[in-house]
Amino acid sequence: MKTVLLFLIFLFGSHVVIAADFDHQHSVYADVLKENVGWTRDGVASEVNYALLKSNPKTLEQYAEQLSGVKRDTFDGWTKNQQLAFLINAYNAYTLQLIVEHYPLASIKDIGSFWQSPWKQSFFILLGKDMSLDELEHEIIRAPNRYNEPRIHFAVNCASIGCPALRPEPFTADQLKQQLEDSTKRFLRDTTRNRYRDGEFQVSAIFKWYRQDFEQGWLGFNNLRDFFLRYADAMSLTQPQREQLSYAQAKYTFLPYDWSLNSSAEK
């Protein structure tokens, strides 16, 4: 085996990527996040220093090459946690690349055109095919009967203030459940995006757009009420508010989404 490996390196040069040896700690991406992303507002949101990232994009480009080097049959041989961590990190890393390519800008929605949103542009290769962010999220991460994990909506990041925070660390298979749970609680704790006020639950539009994901049996939950009750402590709900939820007396309104760029003040 060692002889074959040496031959491959000699034949293809030092840039050869052996997909079977993919780094599931996502160490290169960890360096990108550590250098350019930080928590803000007591840990319920994060900001990205896009100016700094644009000035030194090589590490992010290296990670993108690692992602693109993974073949579909290799991916299929991984555990579900390895797959999902890989897909979430890929979505977030390619979003960073998209922003950096067009930076400076005020919003991700400034990219693209009336006919083609930034999420529909096929600008990267993943699992052997040209792909867009929409394809990655909706056709792979959210594919029916694949992962059935609604908490991914608090993990994938759309580079916007209204979006759940981009963690300053990669998702990894061995920490995935804890990271998803932590990201969910951080988002629900943010009273600018989720709160009980004036006799109703005012929550992020995420719960309107992806309501079906929270009602398809995850942990036996078939409605938003059960999901919010699970996280009542994170939302700081009082006992009367919890009772309203329990007896299906709660009224929901969905807050406007802030598409402003999640950029730090540093320029």
DSSP letter for each residue of 66-78: HHHT--HHHHHTS
Domain boundaries, the chain: 19-254
The 3-state secondary structure of 193-255 reads CCEEECCEEEECCHHHHCHHHHHCCHHHCCCHHHHHHHCCCCCCCCHHHHHHHHCCCCCEEEC
**What would the two tokens of residue 241 be?**
């508010």
Mean pLDDT of 13-26: 66
pLDDT tens string 171-216: 999 999 999 999 999 999 999 999 998 889 999 999 999 999 999 8
| Entry pTM | 0.91
Asked whether residue 265 carries a pLDDT value surpassing 70, the answer given is no
**What would the two tokens of residue 245 be?**
């939820």
Bigger pLDDT: 112 vs 30? 30
Whole-angstrom distance, CA of residue 224 vs CA of residue 93: 30
Closest C-alpha to 63, from 35, 27, 98 = 27
Whole-angstrom distance, CA of residue 69 vs CA of residue 82: 16
pLDDT at position 247 is 86
Percentage with pLDDT > 70 across the chain: 91
Give the number of residues written for the chain.
267
